Amino acid sequence: MTIFKKLLTFATAAALSAAVILPVEAEEKTSFKFAWSIYVGWMPWGWAADNGIVDKWADKYGIDIEVVQFNDYIESINQYTAGSFDGVTATNMDLLAIPSAGGVDTTALIVGDFSNGNDAVILKDTDELADIKGQSVNLVELSVSHYLLARALETVDMSERDVTVVNTSDADMVAAFASSDVTSVVTWNPLVFEILEQPNANKVFDSSQIPGEIMDIAAVSTETLADNPAFGKALAGAWFETMAIMASDTPEGEAARKAMGEASGTDLAGYEAQLASTEMFYDAPDAVSFVEGGDLSATMDSVRSFLFAHGLLGEGAPSPDVVGIEFPDGSVLGDEGNVKLRFTSEYMGLAAKGEL
């Protein structure tokens, strides 16, 4: 029942940072490829493709969009970064660390949700986060779990120097916590649910305490989008039509959620439990308000600082400013001459105004 979640390996990041990424020549075209991987907030893409909603919106704009599922999340981002796909689902952290740091100008087209409790720090036999000091912490290294740990430690005036990180596969996490020598883990749902069923497990911090910092995004090539706005419009239209269906208290909505749950390896109840700890932007105006709000710059500053501290913004990067990040108001965090990650509200705004 493991759901493939967001993770970044050092080898992947290092390889991409060292590689010379050649810019993809943008052009007008009619066929596009969009990659997605299994996670609660991205299941709507597979369902929308299977139920003709993506095709409906693509047809409206006279284009074709092939939606491709990857079981390997990082490979989907690698394929996008290499130019094999025009868009991909990824977290804000991984978009900055992989394609953007690798030189691929990327636009965060749709911010679909943020983790609001799905990711958690769990300790054994104590309910105080401060007791983590001196412990070995099992997690997927350089993933959003690693970021969550760093943010959690800040709240109790500690840093990663106060713990020992033990790189552990998500597939091994539940069994690891059950063993006598593991006292602390950081992971994501549905693993969090499973681990908390153990009587000595205590959740001491979760992503609801850093709201909005772990985002799930549908991103596209900036150059491709500039020459082909129909691609962005079709994706936004398909997404928000799907959101309206899955959020509805109707037989159709329940059937959609059930299908998404089963496709992700759980059932309706399990999927809805994960949705409960995910802040989904079912309504386009809410998504627009989020990306145009005042917290996005501060969030990305925290994310880029984490990536820089772990050497994930490129070999020899002099500071976190090495990659510029642009926001909907046109402001830039970092190098204005090297903007490679752009947040936009344009296409979500068209959906909000009913202009798609």
Domains in the chain, start-ordered, CATH in brackets? Answer: 10-114+213-352 (3.40.190.10), 119-209 (3.40.190.10)
Q: What is the pLDDT of residue 61?
A: 98
Average pLDDT, the chain: 92
Please state, in angstroms and as integers, the Cα–Cα distance from residue 174 to each residue in 139, 158, 201, 304, 310, following that order. 11, 26, 11, 30, 26
Q: What is the pLDDT of residue 190?
A: 86
pLDDT in tens, 285-299: 999 999 998 799 999
Q: What is the pLDDT of residue 5?
A: 53
Confidence tier at 25 by pLDDT (50, 70, 90): low
Query: Which whole number is the average pLDDT over 78-92?
Result: 97
Query: Which whole number is the average pLDDT over 302-318?
Result: 93
Q: Which of 13-22, 67-76, 269-278, 323-332 has the lowest mean pLDDT?
A: 13-22
Q: What is the pLDDT of residue 203?
A: 98
Query: Which whole number is the average pLDDT over 242-250?
Result: 97
Q: What is the pLDDT of residue 44?
A: 98
Rounded Cα gap, residues 354 and 70, in angstroms: 31
Confidence tier at 336 by pLDDT (50, 70, 90): very high
SS3 243: helix
Please state, in angstroms and as integers, the Cα–Cα distance from residue 50 to each residue in 43, 110, 210, 308, 334, following that order. 11, 20, 34, 39, 40
Query: Which whole number is the average pLDDT over 191-200?
Result: 94
Task: Please say if the pLDDT value at position 120 is more than 90.
Answer: yes
DSSP 316: T
Indicate the helix (H) or strand (E) that contains 152: helix 144-154
Comparing 194 with 1, the larger pLDDT belongs to 194
Query: Which whole number is the average pLDDT over 175-193?
Result: 94
Nearest to 227 by CA among 23, 28, 24, 25: 28
Query: Which whole number is the average pLDDT over 318-343?
Result: 97
